[in-house]
């Protein structure tokens, strides 16, 4: 049985009751977060804090230390959340340098907090920290839990061709990632346009921040009506690996390359190998950027071997053929140790109409792992 709080947001009845809160008491929040996804949520909490009749009285931040950047690692770059916190004069606590976990770490403050809020933080919050909060801790996860537990739910939703995804606000479990009781959940259709990671991430961050504020302002009701996740429906969304970006023209289809590109291409551009036609031919890595499925191709077809490619004037792209005869278009490429170039410049610069492929040095086990990963993909088609 579900109780409707607002359109598309459903809270399932809990099997047991947990900590009681009262909406008359404003919350002292300790926010744990790092990246731009987290900073969107932090900004939403700051906006709520300034609202007349707000449910929040104070906010502090826990984030990683500044990262060393630059060629000589001479520059320090703060996290996105720290930048927001500094501009709003929040108290900031850093996790230990190079810490792999927070098992032996204690909050460096005696200030009391009512609730912990964890968004895209990267660390598992240990039980002794969760229990220090009056009402425990909540987490915003960009998937419809229990589907896609893990670090990369958005990428997996796009890669696997899902027709919908969403955002879940859950209680933080003190034993396992993404296994807490569901406090609120909202669905998002992916059928309106081709989903791309950065665009979907931004959309889900906005929806998640609204859902988070709504949950905190109705925390008692959300806890009273929480639902335990159905473990039998749990799936994993592990951290994206660079090896997934290896294009296998023999065993892949064009639609799989397209979905992979939209899912992980901004993090790890899809890549292949090209044998140069110089006096000393060698295999060079070439990144394939902004892949898409052309409506038609007059340049290649079923008679061409996997990895064959040719310039297509109508789309101003290189068209590449896969083992099943399907075609993918590529408007931009980045050869090894070169700047990004147009497909036309690639053709002119290398004077080729040849073939891409997997390097002979590629481990067969990597190819097999990627085939297994792609076996879970379904072709995405707009309605």
The residue-averaged pLDDT of 275-297 equals 84
Same domain, residue pair 264 and 203: no
The residue-averaged pLDDT of 362-370 equals 88
Q: Give residue 25's pLDDT.
A: 78
* 154: nearest Cα among 210, 236, 237: 237
Structural domain includes residue 380 = no
Give the domain extent around 271.
Answer: 242-374
Structural domain includes residue 205 = yes
Q: What angle do CA 333, 302, 350 make, to 5 degrees?
A: 30
Q: Give residue 298's pLDDT.
A: 67
- Distance between CA atoms of 113 and 228, rounded to whole angstroms? 25
Cα-based distances in Å from 342 to 179, 355, 367: 45, 17, 29
Q: Is residue 340 predicted with pLDDT exceeding 60?
A: yes
Same domain, residue pair 194 and 300: no
Is the distance from CB of 257 to CB of 55 less than 8 angstroms? no
Q: Tell me the percentage of the chain whose pLDDT exceeds 90.
A: 76
Structural domain includes residue 229 = yes
Is the distance from CB of 289 to CB of 265 less than 8 angstroms? yes
Q: Give me the number of domains the chain comprises.
A: 2
Same domain, residue pair 40 and 116: yes
Structural domain includes residue 41 = yes
Q: Give residue 18's pLDDT.
A: 37
Same domain, residue pair 229 and 247: no
- Distance between CA atoms of 122 and 338, rounded to whole angstroms? 33
Among 213, 233, 253, which residue terminates a domain? 233
pLDDT tens-digit readout, 9-59:
433 333 232 334 444 579 999 999 999 999 999 999 999 999 999 999 999
Same domain, residue pair 181 and 311: no
The residue-averaged pLDDT of 96-117 equals 94
Same domain, residue pair 180 and 290: no
Same domain, residue pair 218 and 191: yes
pLDDT tens-digit readout, 53-86:
999 999 999 999 998 887 777 788 999 999 999 9
Average pLDDT along the chain: 90
Among 233, 259, 286, which residue terminates a domain? 233
DSSP 3-state assignment of 179?
Answer: coil
Q: Is residue 320 predicted with pLDDT exceeding 60?
A: yes
Same domain, residue pair 197 and 309: no
Structural domain includes residue 379 = no
Q: Give residue 42's pLDDT.
A: 98
Is the distance from CB of 4 to CB of 92 less than 8 angstroms? no
Structural domain includes residue 383 = no
Q: Give residue 73's pLDDT.
A: 77
pLDDT tens-digit readout, 148-185:
999 999 999 999 999 999 999 999 999 999 999 999 99
The residue-averaged pLDDT of 303-310 equals 84
Structural domain includes residue 151 = yes
DSSP 3-state assignment of 185?
Answer: strand
Same domain, residue pair 224 and 353: no
Q: Which residue has the higher pLDDT, 364 or 119?
A: 119
pLDDT tens-digit readout, 184-232:
999 999 999 999 999 999 999 999 999 999 999 999 999 999 999 999 9
Structural domain includes residue 284 = yes
Q: Give residue 21's pLDDT.
A: 40
Q: Give residue 350's pLDDT.
A: 78
Q: Give residue 353's pLDDT.
A: 58
* 285: nearest Cα among 306, 267, 270, 266: 270
Q: Which residue has the higher pLDDT, 362 or 9?
A: 362
The residue-averaged pLDDT of 232-257 equals 96
* 31: nearest Cα among 133, 143, 162: 133
Same domain, residue pair 226 and 308: no
CATH number at residue 311: 3.10.25.10
Q: Tell me the percentage of the chain whose pLDDT exceeds 70.
A: 89
Among 233, 266, 282, which residue terminates a domain? 233
Q: Is residue 283 predicted with pLDDT exceeding 90?
A: no
pTM above 0.75, yes or no: yes
CB atoms within 10 A of CB 145: 26
Same domain, residue pair 42 and 157: yes
Same domain, residue pair 171 and 301: no
């Amino acid at each position: 049985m579900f109780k409707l709080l607002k359109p598309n947001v459903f809270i399932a009845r809990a099997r047991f009751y947990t900590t009681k809160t009262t909406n008359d008491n404003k919350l002292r929040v300790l926010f744990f977060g790092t990246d731009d996804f987290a900073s969107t949520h932090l900004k939403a909490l700051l906006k709520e804090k300034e609202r007349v009749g707000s449910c929040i009285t104070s906010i502090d931040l826990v984030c990683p230390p500044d990262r060393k950047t630059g060629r000589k690692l001479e520059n320090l770059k703060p996290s996105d959340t720290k930048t927001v916190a500094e501009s709003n004069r929040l108290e900031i606590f850093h996790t230990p340098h190079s810490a792999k976990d927070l098992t032996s770490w204690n909050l460096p403050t005696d200030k009391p907090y009512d609730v912990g809020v964890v968004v895209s933080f990267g660390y598992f919050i240990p039980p002794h920290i969760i229990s220090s909060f009056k009402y425990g801790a909540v987490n915003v996860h960009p998937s419809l839990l229990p589907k896609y537990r893990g670090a990369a739910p958005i990428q997996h939703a796009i890669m696997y061709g899902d027709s919908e995804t969403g955002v879940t606000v859950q209680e933080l479990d003190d034993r396992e990632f993404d296994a807490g009781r569901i406090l609120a959940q909202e669905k998002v259709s992916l059928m309106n346009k081709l989903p791309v990671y950065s665009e979907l991430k931004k959309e889900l961050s906005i929806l998640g921040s609204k859902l988070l504020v709504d949950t905190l302002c109705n925390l008692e009701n959300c806890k009273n009506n929480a639902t335990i996740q159905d473990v039998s429906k749990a799936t994993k969304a592990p951290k994206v690996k660079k090896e997934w970006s290896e294009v296998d023209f023999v065993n892949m289809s064009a639609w799989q390359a397209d979905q992979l590109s939209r899912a992980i291409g901004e993090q790890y551009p899809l890549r292949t190998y090209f044998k140069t036609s110089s006096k000393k031919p060698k295999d060079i890595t070439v990144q394939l950027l902004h892949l898409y499925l052309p409506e038609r191709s007059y340049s290649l077809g079923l008679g061409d071997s996997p990895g064959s490619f040719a310039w297509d004037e109508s789309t101003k792209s290189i068209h590449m053929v896969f083992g099943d005869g399907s075609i993918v278009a590529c408007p931009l490429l980045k050869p090894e140790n070169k700047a990004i170039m147009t497909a036309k410049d690639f053709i002119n610069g290398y004077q080729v109409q040849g073939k891409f492929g997997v390097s002979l040095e590629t481990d067969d086990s990597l190819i097999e792992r990627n085939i297994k990963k792609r076996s879970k993909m379904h072709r995405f088609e707009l309605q």
